[in-house]
Structure 1
Amino acid sequence: MKKIALKIDVDTYRGTREGVPRLVEVLQRHHAQASFYFSLGPDHTGRAIKRVFRPGFMKKVSRTSVLEHYGFKTLMYGTLLPGPDIGRNCADIMRSVRDAGFEVGIHCYDHIRWQDHVAAKDADWTKREMQRAVDRFTEIFGEAPRAHAAAGWQTNRYALRQTQHLGFDYSSDTRGTQPFIPTWDAEIIACPQLPTTLPTLDELIGRDGITMENVAQHLLDITGKPSQTGHVYTLHAELEGQKWMPIFEQLLQGWQEQGYQLVSMREYLQGFKPADLPRYEVKAGTVDGRSGMLAVQGQNG
């Protein structure tokens, strides 16, 4: 399958205002499709300071300039500055993405709250957070969401159940190798998972001799090897939509030269029959270059 699905996570107020319009323009210029997943509530990015105690976090920060990419104001939101409500302030930008022909879906309501807490939360907390995102999405777009991509690849069994209960066509909450039907302690969740299969730029740059100058070629070397199920590449409005856009343009051109169709996640899903997807457990695991534990595609069965 010569398809790469472009999954765009939009984490912050600044990323929505500045990165998203730039990404729409560059995708249109390269005749590429993509899916945008929005953070729909308050921007509390500053509260991520608690992650300094997480193993590997400071090493990642030292490799990629957080201040350069996110800006001083963003890093104060939710602490010294009130966090702006992204959905309230950026609804027109979000609708313009849909109107330009791109798929839109839910990333989360409050990015920091979800990413830092969901793994240990109960059913009521999880349902409340997801319903907040669904309600805000419906308010903005005038229709219910059909897709979900969890912030920070963080989830729990209750969130997976909600993807089925809410009628999502698919969800992309995990890291893995191919689309699958998720299970949790042998419980089958009838909502396909489309995991991110390729490493992200911030996981690569600064490791093993990989620099801003050669990271695009590194990724192109990976995709140069055939994959029967194609790939999902996750990018961020705050990174590829701003300082790292030249790298993203190198990737777009390189992938098209390799013969890939650059598609939305929905178009990617259409290449599979859900009834034929294999079942894999969702478990906690690590990903090279990223701190902490993530939801990953586990064993088949």
Structure 2
Amino acid sequence: MPLLALKIDVDTFRGTLQGVPHLVEILHRHGADATFLFSLGRDHTGRAIRRAFRPGFMKKVSRTSVVSHYGLKTLMYGTLLPGPDIGRGCADILRGVRDAGFEVGIHCWDHVKWQDGVVGADMDWTEHEMRLACTQFTDVFGTEPIVHGAAGWQMNRHALRMTQRLGFHYASDCRGSHPFMPVWNAEVVHCPQLPTTLPTLDELIGVDNVVEDNVHERLLELTESPPATGHVYTLHAELEGMKLAPMFERLLLGWKQQGYELVSLQKLYAGIAVDELPRHEVLQGEIPGRSGNLLLQGPEFLADAGR
């Protein structure tokens, strides 16, 4: 049976309070597993207004209703309103996800700060942010994290190195086509990447006649032929856990009809022969439907190439 891993990014305080419990209920009802990746520091979503000056950002916003998905109050956190502490304020919800049988891991410490700042950050900044998230995770769950999934698929070379140094067993920090061992400028980072292989709902809605009511059909077209290494689909507590929940349920039904087993990243990783993983360069690039650059799986790295 082909595997399709559900990776749930939780970006905000509201998404944690409302979207996460709803997703737990939906997943249980459909007999699906998943990995929840949490933002663990303060919610500073309002500071994302600075992205308005990025090429393509306003075009994306015009296709998806940011206010309806995130709420006006969330869009003021970190500017007109103080940002609530997600890890501390929602600790019972986070532990409840684990107790319900789902894998839990780290998305980031401060979502906006990471997504907007990590690409150009130095080692000290990067390590500080990742250690804050790890410490909060350990305080909440009583165990160390084993999976990392970067906010906005934004990483730098220091962050990749830290996934190895901090002992993560695997990560899902980039977009790509199949599991691999990442290489940055000929340096192999020994933390396998399980990249997101499918587009997200907000990347598809508003493009080529795709709307909220039929977006699931477009995704199901992309999963008709299962790849040997499985798929990773990234969803968001603020979208599929709230307004887009009906579309997510249609996806779950469709994927089960296509024969997929809906699993966590941990289950996907368990079926991988790590020592046999291909090594691929990682690079910064664009993908359709999303503004700016993000981390992508690049060409296979052949150490002897050109010799």
User: Is TM > 0.5 for Structure 1 vs Structure 2?
Assistant: yes
1:88 partner SS = helix
Amino acid at match of 1:261: E
Aligned residue number for residue 228 of structure 1 = 228
Q: Under a length normalisation based on structure 2, what TM-score does the superposition of the two structures give?
A: 0.97
* 2:113 maps to 1:113: yes
Q: How far is the alpha carbon of 1:55 from its aligned partner? A: 0.7
Corresponding residue for residue 53 of structure 1: 53
Query: What per-residue deviation string (whole Å, max 9, x for no partner) do you get for residues 222-255 of structure 1?
Result: 1002311110000000000000000000000000
Q: Which amino acid in the other structure matches residue 261 of structure 2?
A: Q
Match of 1:119, SS state, is coil
Write the deviation string for residues 51-90 of structure 1: whole angstroms up to 9, x where unpaired: 0011110011000000000000000000000000001100
The code of the aligned residue for 1:175 comes to R
* 2:237 equivalent in structure 1: 237
Letter in 2 for 1:93: I
Residue aligned with 2:286, SS = strand
Q: How do 1:70-81 residues align onto structure 2 when only pairs under 5 Å count?
A: 70-81=70-81
Measured on the aligned residues, the alpha-carbon RMSD in Å equals 0.6
CA distance in 1: counterparts of 2:180 and 2:208, whole angstroms: 31
Tell me how far apart the structure 2 counterparts of residues 74 and 226 of structure 1 sit (CA, whole Å).
38
One-letter amino acid matched to 1:43: D
Identify the residue that residue 98 of structure 2 maps to in structure 1. 98
Other structure's SS at 1:299 match: strand
Q: Which residue of 2 aligns with 1:19?
A: 19
1:149 counterpart residue number? 149
What is the alpha-carbon distance in structure 1 between the residues aligned to residue 46 and residue 241 of structure 2? 20
What amino acid maps onto 1:211 in structure 2?
A: V
Where does residue 282 of structure 1 map in the other structure? 282
**Aligned-partner residue type, residue 138 of structure 1:** T
1:298 alignment counterpart: 298
Partner Cα separation in structure 2 for residue 31 and residue 117 of structure 1: 38
* Superposition TM-score, scaled by structure 1 size: 0.99
Residues 1-301 of structure 1 mapped to structure 2, 5 A cutoff = 2-301=2-301
The 3-state SS of whatever aligns with 1:158 is helix
> What SS does the aligned partner of 1:82 have?
coil
Q: State the Cα distance separating 1:10 from its structure 2 match.
A: 0.1
CA distance, structure 1, for counterparts of residue 162 and residue 249 of structure 2: 36
1:79-134 deviation digits (Å, cap 9, x = unpaired): 00000000110000000000000000000000000000000000111000000000
Structure 2 CA distance for aligned equivalents of residues 272 and 23 of structure 1: 27
In structure 2, what is the Cα distance between the partners aligned to 1:265 and 1:153? 16
> What is the CA–CA distance in structure 1 between the aligned matches of 2:197 and 2:204, rounded to whole Å?
14
SS of residue paired to 1:107: strand
Larger deviation: 221-230 or 195-204?
Answer: 221-230
* Distance (whole Å) between structure 1 residues aligned to residue 92 and residue 213 of structure 2: 35
SS of alignment partner, residue 106 of structure 1: strand
Over 3 Å off, 4+ runs: none
User: How high is the sequence identity, in percent, across the aligned residues?
Assistant: 65
Post-superposition Cα deviations, 1:180-210, rounded to whole Å, max 9, x if no partner, equal 0000000000000000000000000000111
String of CA shifts for 1:246-267, please: whole Å, max 9, x gaps.
0000000000010000000000
5+ unaligned residues in a row in structure 1: which ranges? none
Bigger Cα displacement from structure 2, 220-229 vs 133-142: 220-229
